Structure 1
Amino acid sequence: MKPGPARRDTWPVTSVADAALARAAAAGVALEAGAAPRDRARFVTELTARLRRCLAEGSGWELQLRVRALAEGNGAARLEAFVRPSGSPEPPVDDDGCTVSCPLPRPPADGIPQNGMPLPEALLSADEDTEVVLRLLDEQEQLVGLHREELERTNLGVVALHSDLEAAATAQRDLLDAERVTRAEAERARHLLTFLGDASAAITSSLSRTVILRRLSDLLVPEHADHLDVWLFDEENDDDHPRGIRDHPAAAVTAARTGRPQHAAGHPGGLPGVDDLPPSALFPHRPLLAIPLGARHPLGVLTLTCPGPRFDPDASVMLVELARRVGIALDNAGRHEQYRDTAETLQRAQLTELPSPPGMLLAARYLPATSGLNIGGDWYDAFLQPDGSLLTVIGDVTGHGLHAAVVMGQLRTALRAYAVENESPAGILTRLHGMLRHLQPDLYATAMIARFRPGEREITWASAGHPPAVVRDPDGVVRVLHAKPGVMLGIPVPYVYADHQAELPAGSTLALYTDGLVERRSQGIDPGIARLGSTLGTLTTPELEHDPEAAADALLKPLLHDSERDDDVCLLLCHLSSSADPAAPPA
């Protein structure tokens, strides 16, 4: 049960008589709601003290009562009293810092009365509460008396056994000290294990070497190291990291050569599994700990400068284990970067160099995903057919990485082969659908094909589950090609795609794109298509015709905001020059 709305009432307090009436009202509410006598007495006593202090300060005051149901769902409530200067703003409903409060087993049936309890009744009720409290005090006094007698009898035996108890107390103190030391060691071990687990999770959650090393520094400095240095062997000859062995402490060089952790200081470290060396020439007054970073093969050395006079043995064990996990994370990151670079190189190698047909301007952009393995599935294509028409294609293969990039290449090659036979866009998609069903039953793809014929004001297009194209007319009006798309390529059902026509006069621009440009997890795809249309509408015909490449960049920038992307982005702009004669064939 959620807390119900509070019921409030306010009494002015400008004199002792007003204070008595306000006190009586508060006591009446507590009594009517069935509050326990001891709770009522404590509540009324605290409220009276508060009212006396306020009256002693002078000026005008007011008492506000509020009954609020509790969230436990058992019907219980709480009576809250606020004494404040007259005219002050009301306290918030969810304020738990009330001046005085009293628990109620239930809310008062009739709410807070407007006039409060009459003073005679309030006086009698207060006496009844006082009687209950006094009865409880009497019972406590009797119990105290009994305990006092028992204590006196016990003291006689205590005096006789005093020497034995003192010896036992000494032994107990020794045991407690030993237990305290053991608990402190266990707590420190727990803290180190918790830190190791949290640090490992933070480091292994990234596949970027830069992020891993930045997080490692944030985790270790300043609690476990005053300064750290990571020496990665594969960066030794990197132009961005022009460092040699002389730039590293001797302990790091020894750790790299032997594969064992090294401690360099003017005193023995006594660290488990760590060799001792003389002080470092680079840091003669600070202990160093150099730990090899390795996974399947040596990767580098992590060197830590001690934040204090010496390294803690338990912490050093944790640091060695953390370095081992960092080495695994760095190795995984390197393999991921190599895999990602291979997939991106393969995909970029298959992207088309755009043709330059008469009367048309083309511009394309491909942006790989900035996170994860989501690379390799998006592609665009544009090529002239034997009859002089231009075929433009945009597509997206499900799945990611090298497999998706290879399938994308197969689709691109097959599409060009089918187009040689002068198939319509729908016919090409139908044949691609059959090919993908048989050759790659575990992958699907979306695609959209648009054919431009020289001298015609219409284009023929067909879609296989792809986001709709957006058209900017010469007057700047934007429209979306909303015809129902066909199923995705490769869906395990036979399907025949249909051609559609759309008017595209000279000066118009057709935007083909993949869902990575418009789809956001928190918003869906429709708002993104609307933003794309709005942005395309802001471009002018002179901008599109003067520099279509710059127009493509201007279209992408407000849609992506240089943010992280977990999917590829493809864009293909097709602009019909406004100076072209739509009735004349190309030269």
Structure 2
Amino acid sequence: MRGPSAALGPGSSALAAALGATQIPLAVLRAERSRLHVTWVNDALARAVGYAADDVVGVDVLTDPRVRPSDPQAALTALAESSSHPVVLRRADGAHVCCVAHLSAVPAGPDVPPGTLVAAVQDLTTELTASAEQAALVAEERRERRSLSLIARVSDLLVDVDEPDGLREIAALLESQVVERARFFLFDNGLWAADGLGPYRSTARHHGPSGRMLSRCTDDPVGRLLAGARDDVLELDLAADHPQGTYAHWLAERLRPDVPGDDARVVVQPVPGRRRTVGLLVVRPHGGGGVEALGSHDRTVVELVARRVGLSIDNVRLYDREHRLCETLQRAMLPEQAEVDGLDVWTYYSPNADDAQVGGDWYDVLQIDARTIGVVIGDVVGHDVEAAATMGQLRSVVRSYAFDITTPGPVLDRVDQLFGGMRIARAASLVYSALHRDDAGRWVLRYSRAGHLPLLHVRDGQARQLTGRGGLLIGFGAGGRATDEVVLAPGDVVVYYTDGLVERRDRSLRDGLAVLETVAAGVTARDAAGIGEDLLSRLADQPEDDVAVVVLRVPGPDDQLAGAVSPRRRRWALPSEPASIGRARHAVLRTCETWEIADAANAELVVSELVANAVLHGWGHVALQLHDTGDGLRIEVEDANPTPPITTDGHPGRVGGFGMQIVERLADWGWRQSRAGKVVWAKVRPGEMPGAARPVT
């Protein structure tokens, strides 16, 4: 190999030896016309490229295929300016090495030809590898953070189980960060597209095949997934010919229009509950493709989302089952509306919709003998099955002693003894009263309180609390509970209630009791039902706890005269929930009975349909008004949705609108715009039977 002195001109042999032995790859280049020749390389450069030095010397680095500048024009500029420029060298073994050439022009002189340059070549392989690894770590960390953020957002969305579009929002979240398409399908009595969690549905619109088909799903991969025969993800080709009546066919029919392009494959992820598959999450990776296109990281995210959704669905259904069980238990324990000779009695109970639809509030009305009535109202702490069971036990105990002992104080003493011996952990309060009609026909009220709110006595537009001498909670009495007495006059009203009627977060209990006194004193209704409904409409529009109310009124001498009943208009504000339908029907039946309006069954059916439409399709609270027009009952239901109601044309393929057909056959009806939305009204005439539809007036 020629030394640098030969390449540059005569020089020191020691300098030549030093440059040849250095570990920095060096080359001497000479620019002549449009060529750049290699005139010398040291051993370090020869080793770096894998060629012998003699095979390198003499080549033109601008045209040799073994040298490739990253930018030829920039390379010429670097030559002219004696700067650095990236190049890729092809080694003798075929590998490409990324380098940077640091170019320095050597001044021409007697011993140095013009156009001479020295190039120090730096191998960037180690630096680029480290940089790539660092970039990969950063990218992985970003993916992990994105995934954690997505899972946290999903958890937040699942907190509100009543959100109707919760699953749709989760699917949109997946589409924004992970996949191209995402959609949820829930499985109970068939497969159905879902926007929200929702409780267990016995029937659903646009159902897939019946759950019974799971036993015949040998040719149905989606059916096997739902049956638990496989628990991994499934790649489903929507364009394939799936057998009719299978879940795969049903799913493909509904998803095919949403999948663009020739590649119609989707990934079906089971949504597992605690014991069975409760649904499916169907996703399409970006750009199409099957499971392999989704990637392991995105598959993990999809699986975690599906598992969280599955647990939430299980919780919703468990809650719904407990809800129904508790409500059935509670309703079974509460008595029917009492009919008492000589007294006008109205009763009401509603659980708090935010809890399990059950609580410890209760009441009872007992006809002890022909001249004695027992009335009790109480509250057991809690909103669960245990509270309802405790309430049932307490009710039975009070009933047993009430028929044996006529004085309220001793009744509660006996209840204390038995309740304490049963070692029931729940605290309970109650008021027990006995009303006795004496020989003069007067009603005498005797009562005893055990930690409960005082009764309310209303006479001649004045309301006062019957606090009596009070007493400790049930189970804590030491004997000798007091009995207080009030002689009732004709027209007097006594209101029994639980704290759900008066207690609110934004006011003290004392203020709530004052509001109750004011409202009760201003009620103009002349019957117990009217008084009770007025109290509820003004005080219990949005209760924060269970509400139980008993209204007892002593009839006046003129109650049977014409027109002496309550004013012929009543109004209720109902929450937009299914329970309001039953409450509206109950209100109409009571009102028709009080106003002596015939055909209450027709009015009950009409109000049921109108309120159901407002709950299902309206917004906000529902306002119900009843008017006695003299020739029938006018029902008005108001909600915040300004869209008018519609009826179908009777075609069996149409969906919805049949409720208004029922209304048409039972009443004249119409609608009008209101400040809040719309009012749908119906007028039911007494004595009419269901018949052909009548024109709207």
- Shorter-chain TM-score bucket reads 0.5 to 0.7
CA distance in 2, matches of 1:173, 1:363: 85
- The 8 Å contact of residues 343 and 375 in structure 1, kept in 2 or not, is answered as yes
- The 8 Å contact of residues 390 and 424 in structure 2, kept in 1 or not, is answered as no
- Is 1:297 aligned to residue 275 of structure 2? yes
Residue 188 of structure 2 is aligned with which of 233, 242, 254?
A: 233
- The 8 Å contact of residues 376 and 401 in structure 1, kept in 2 or not, is answered as yes
**Could you tell me the percent identity over the aligned residues?**
23
CA distance in 1, matches of 2:394, 2:495: 21
Residue 216 of structure 1 is aligned with which of 137, 142, 167?
A: 167
- Is 1:392 aligned to residue 375 of structure 2? yes
Aligned-partner residue type, residue 560 of structure 1? A
Residue 469 of structure 1 is aligned with which of 452, 455, 460?
A: 455
Indicate how the Cα distance of structure 1 residues 179 and 388 shifts in structure 2: closer, same or farther if over 3 A, else same: same
Residue 552 of structure 1 is aligned with which of 532, 537, 559?
A: 532
Q: Where does residue 520 of structure 2 map in the other structure? A: 536
- Flag the structure with more relative contact order, 1 or 2, with Cα contacts below 8 A and sequence separation at least 6: 1
Higher relative helix content: 1
Q: Where does residue 208 of structure 2 map in the other structure? A: 244
1:211-243: CA deviation from partner (whole Å, max 9, x where unpaired):
4x7323222315436452322224568334451
Indicate how the Cα distance of structure 1 residues 174 and 466 shifts in structure 2: closer, same or farther if over 3 A, else same: same
Q: Where does residue 63 of structure 1 map in the other structure? A: none
- Is 1:192 aligned to residue 147 of structure 2? yes
Length, aligned pairs only: 402
Indicate how the Cα distance of structure 1 residues 263 and 165 shifts in structure 2: closer, same or farther if over 3 A, else same: same
Indicate how the Cα distance of structure 1 residues 485 and 218 shifts in structure 2: closer, same or farther if over 3 A, else same: farther
CA distance in 2, matches of 1:385, 1:253: 61
CA distance in 1, matches of 2:132, 2:393: 75
- The 8 Å contact of residues 252 and 301 in structure 1, kept in 2 or not, is answered as no
- The 8 Å contact of residues 458 and 505 in structure 1, kept in 2 or not, is answered as no
Secondary structure of the 1:453 match is: strand
CA distance in 2, matches of 1:412, 1:342: 19
Residue 364 of structure 2 is aligned with which of 381, 393, 396?
A: 381
Q: Where does residue 57 of structure 1 map in the other structure? A: none
Q: Where does residue 495 of structure 2 map in the other structure? A: 511
TM-score (norm 2): 0.52
- The 8 Å contact of residues 478 and 533 in structure 1, kept in 2 or not, is answered as yes
CA distance in 1, matches of 2:473, 2:280: 50
CA distance in 1, matches of 2:400, 2:550: 21
Secondary structure of the 1:221 match is: helix
Q: Where does residue 352 of structure 1 map in the other structure? A: 335
- The 8 Å contact of residues 344 and 555 in structure 2, kept in 1 or not, is answered as yes
Residue 337 of structure 1 is aligned with which of 317, 320, 323?
A: 320
Indicate how the Cα distance of structure 1 residues 354 and 181 shifts in structure 2: closer, same or farther if over 3 A, else same: same
Secondary structure of the 2:255 match is: coil
Aligned positions of 1:10-409 closer than 5 A: 167=123, 171-200=126-155, 202-203=157-158, 205=159, 208=161, 211=163, 214-224=165-175, 226-234=181-189, 238-241=202-205, 243-245=207-209, 252-253=222-223, 255-257=225-227, 258-264=230-236, 280-284=252-256, 285-286=259-260, 287-306=265-284, 308-310=286-288, 312-313=294-295, 314-373=297-356, 375-386=358-369, 388-409=371-392
- Is 1:459 aligned to residue 472 of structure 2? no
Aligned-partner residue type, residue 200 of structure 1? S
Higher Cα Rg, which structure: 2
CA distance in 2, matches of 1:439, 1:385: 26
Secondary structure of the 1:297 match is: coil
Aligned-partner residue type, residue 531 of structure 1? V
- The 8 Å contact of residues 251 and 280 in structure 1, kept in 2 or not, is answered as no
Unpaired segments ≥5 residues, structure 1: 1-156, 268-275, 582-587
Superposition RMSD on alpha carbons, in Å? Answer: 3.5
Quote how far apart the aligned CAs of 1:281 are: 4.8
CA distance in 1, matches of 2:121, 2:506: 70
Aligned-partner residue type, residue 256 of structure 1? L
Higher relative strand content: 2
CA distance in 1, matches of 2:456, 2:557: 22
- Is 1:578 aligned to residue 578 of structure 2? no
Secondary structure of the 1:440 match is: coil
Quote how far apart the aligned CAs of 1:484 are: 4.3
Aligned-partner residue type, residue 578 of structure 1? G
Secondary structure of the 1:544 match is: coil
CA distance in 2, matches of 1:179, 1:515: 64
Q: Where does residue 488 of structure 1 map in the other structure? A: 473
- The 8 Å contact of residues 354 and 383 in structure 1, kept in 2 or not, is answered as no
CA distance in 1, matches of 2:511, 2:120: 84
1:265-310: CA deviation from partner (whole Å, max 9, x where unpaired):
589xxxxxxxx99x94543435533222222332432233438424
CA distance in 2, matches of 1:418, 1:371: 35
Quote how far apart the aligned CAs of 1:251 are: 6.7
CA distance in 1, matches of 2:104, 2:529: 100
Quote how far apart the aligned CAs of 1:197 are: 3.6
- The 8 Å contact of residues 190 and 210 in structure 2, kept in 1 or not, is answered as no
Secondary structure of the 2:369 match is: coil
- The 8 Å contact of residues 188 and 278 in structure 2, kept in 1 or not, is answered as yes
Indicate how the Cα distance of structure 1 residues 180 and 500 shifts in structure 2: closer, same or farther if over 3 A, else same: same
CA distance in 2, matches of 1:575, 1:359: 9
